[in-house]
C-alpha cells in the first residue's frame, strides 16, 4: 500500500478547540517532565541501595516520597502505583539498614 500508517492529522477550526490544542501541548510537556522526574528519583534511590550507602539512600528516599506523592496527586500516575513504588523503595532501604547493622 502507498498510504502511510499514520492517521492524517485534522486541523481544528473552532476557537475553543484551538485553545484546547494549545493547552494540551503545555500540559503534555509538564506531565512528561514530572514523569521523567518520577523515574529519576526512583533510580537514584535504587542506585544508592545497590551501592550500599545507607545514609544517602535514606535521604534520597525522603525526597523521592514527596515527588511520588505529588505525581500521584496530580493524576499522572494512579495512587496505588505511587504507593507500590514507595512501599518497594522503603523495603529496600529498610533491608539495607538491617543488613548494615
Query: At a CB cut-off of 8 Å and minimum separation 6, what does 62 contact?
Result: none
Where in the chain are the domains?
Answer: 17-100
Q: Given a cut of 70, is residue 100 above it in pLDDT?
A: no
pLDDT tens digit sequence for 34-92: 999 999 999 999 999 999 999 999 999 999 999 999 999 999 999 999 999 999 999 99
Q: Given a cut of 60, is residue 2 above it in pLDDT?
A: no
Domain 17-100 has CATH 1.10.3720.10: no
Cell of 73: 496527586
Q: Given a cut of 80, is residue 4 above it in pLDDT?
A: no
N-term to C-term CA, the chain:
66
Q: Which has the closest alpha carbon to 47: 99, 98, 96, 100?
A: 96
d(CA 60, CA 3): 50
Q: What is the number of helices (H) and of strands (E) in the chain?
A: 3, 0
Amino acid at each position: 500500500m502507498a498510504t502511510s500508517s499514520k492517521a492524517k492529522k485534522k486541523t481544528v477550526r473552532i476557537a475553543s478547540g484551538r485553545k484546547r490544542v494549545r493547552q494540551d501541548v503545555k500540559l503534555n510537556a509538564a506531565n512528561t517532565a514530572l514523569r521523567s522526574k518520577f523515574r529519576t528519583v526512583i533510580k537514584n534511590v535504587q542506585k544508592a541501595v545497590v551501592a550500599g550507602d545507607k545514609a544517602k539512600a535514606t535521604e534520597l528516599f525522603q525526597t523521592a516520597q514527596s515527588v511520588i506523592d505529588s505525581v500521584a496527586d496530580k493524576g499522572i500516575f494512579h495512587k496505588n502505583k505511587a504507593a507500590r513504588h514507595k512501599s518497594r523503595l522503603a523495603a529496600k532501604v529498610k533491608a539495607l539498614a538491617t543488613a548494615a547493622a
